[in-house]
Chain A
Amino acid sequence: MAEPRPVLEMTGIVKEFPGVRALSGVDFRLFPGEIHALLGENGAGKSTLIKVLTGVHTLDGGSITLSGRPVRFAGPAQAQQAGISTVYQEVNLCPNLSVAENIFIGREPTRFGRIDWKRLRREAAGLVDRLGLDIDVTAPLSSYPLAVQQLVAIVRSVGTADGEGAGTKVLVLDEPTSSLDRGEVLELFALMRRLRDEGVAILFVSHFLDQIYEVCDRMTVLRNGTLVGEHMVRDLDQVGLVQLMIGKALGQLDELHEHQLHADVGEPLLEAEGVGRAGGIEPFDLEIKKGEVIGLAGLLGSGRTELARLLFGADQPDSGKVTVGGKEVAMSAPNDAIGAGVAFCSENRKTEGLIPDLTVRENIILALQAARGWTRPIPTAQRDELVAKYIAALDIRPANPEARVGQLSGGNQQKVLLARWLITRPQLLILDEPTRGIDIGAKAEIQKLVVSLSEEGMAVLYIAAELEEVLRLSHTIGVLRDRKLVARIANGPEITPTRILETIASGEHQ
Chain B
Amino acid sequence: MTTTPRWRALTHHHLFWPVAVLVVLLLVNIPFTPDFFSIKMTDGHLYGSLVSIVLFGSPLILVAVGMTLVIATGGIDLSVGAVVAITGALTCAHLSEQADQNALSGVFTALAIGLAAAVVCGLWNGFLVARMGIQPIIATLIIMVAGRGVAQLITDGQIITVSSEPYKLIGGGYWLTLPFSIFVVLAVVAVTALLTRRTALGLLVESVGGNAEASRLVGIRSRRIKIMVYVFCALCAGIAGLMISSNTSAADGNNAGLWIELDAILAVVIGGTALTGGRFSIGGTVVGALVIQTLTTTIYTIGVPTQTNLVFKAAVVIVVCLMQSPKFRAKVFGAKRAAQQPPAPAAPADTAPTADAAPKLEVS
Contacts and interface: CB of A to CB of B under 8 A. Distances in A.
A420 B203 CA distance: 15
B219 A371 contact: yes
Nearest to B277: A357
A346 B199 CA distance: 27
Interface residues of B, number: 25
A48 interface: no
Nearest to B228: A374
Given A366-B207, A372-B200, A355 B213 contact: no
A374 B200 contact: yes
B131 interface: no
B346 interface: yes
Nearest to B201: A374
A70 interface: yes
A370 B219 CA distance: 6
Contact of B219 (A335, A352, A353, A378): A335
A360 interface: no
A487 to B, nearest CB: 29
A338 B219 contact: yes
Given A353-B214, A367-B218, A63 B346 contact: yes
A366 B219 CA distance: 9
Interface in B341-356: 345-346
A72 B346 contact: yes
B207 A420 contact: no
A354 B200 contact: no
Contacts of B207: 355, 358, 362, 366
A374 B207 CA distance: 12
A370 B225 CA distance: 11
A18 interface: yes
B13 interface: no
A358 B346 contact: no
A356 interface: yes
B258 to A, nearest CB: 34
A240 interface: no
Contacts of A370: 204, 215, 218-221
Given A369-B204, A374-B200, A344 B211 contact: no
B217 interface: yes
Nearest to B278: A357
A354 B211 contact: yes
A335 to B, nearest CB: 5
Given A63-B346, A338-B219, A352 B214 contact: yes
Contacts of A420: 218
A356 B210 contact: yes
A320 interface: no
Contacts of B206: 355, 357-358, 362
B364 to A, nearest CB: 15
Interface in A368-392: 369-378
B360 interface: no
A344 B225 CA distance: 22
Nearest to B213: A352
Contact of B217 (A71, A344, A369): A344
A18 B225 CA distance: 34
B198 interface: yes
Interface in A145-183: none
A70 B219 CA distance: 51
A377 B210 contact: no
Contacts of B221: 335, 370
Contact of A377 (B198, B214, B215, B219): B198
B215 A355 contact: yes
B217 A334 contact: yes
A333 B204 CA distance: 17
A357 B217 CA distance: 17
Contact of B12 (A18, A362, A367): A18
B45 interface: no
Contacts of A319: none
Contacts of A312: 217
The residue among A355, A358, A367, A378 with the most chain B CB atoms within 10 A of its own CB is A355
B210 A357 contact: yes
Contacts of A335: 219, 221
A314 B213 CA distance: 10
A6 to B, nearest CB: 17
Contacts of A358: 203, 206-207, 210, 278-279
Contacts of B211: 351, 354-356
Interface in A335-363: 335, 338, 344, 346, 351-358, 362
B329 interface: no
Interface in B216-239: 216-221, 225
A375 B199 contact: yes
Contacts of B214: 346, 351-355
Interface string A311-323: 0101000000000
Q: Which are the 8 A-B pairs with shortest beta-carbon distances?
A: A70-B346, A355-B210, A338-B219, A370-B219, A377-B200, A370-B220, A357-B278, A374-B201
17 contacts: A63-B346, A70-B345, A334-B219, A344-B217, A351-B211, A351-B213, A353-B214, A354-B214, A355-B215, A357-B206, A357-B278, A358-B278, A362-B206, A366-B207, A370-B218, A371-B219, A376-B200
Given A70-B345, A314-B217, A371-B219, 6 more contacts: A72-B346, A335-B219, A346-B214, A355-B210, A358-B203, A377-B199
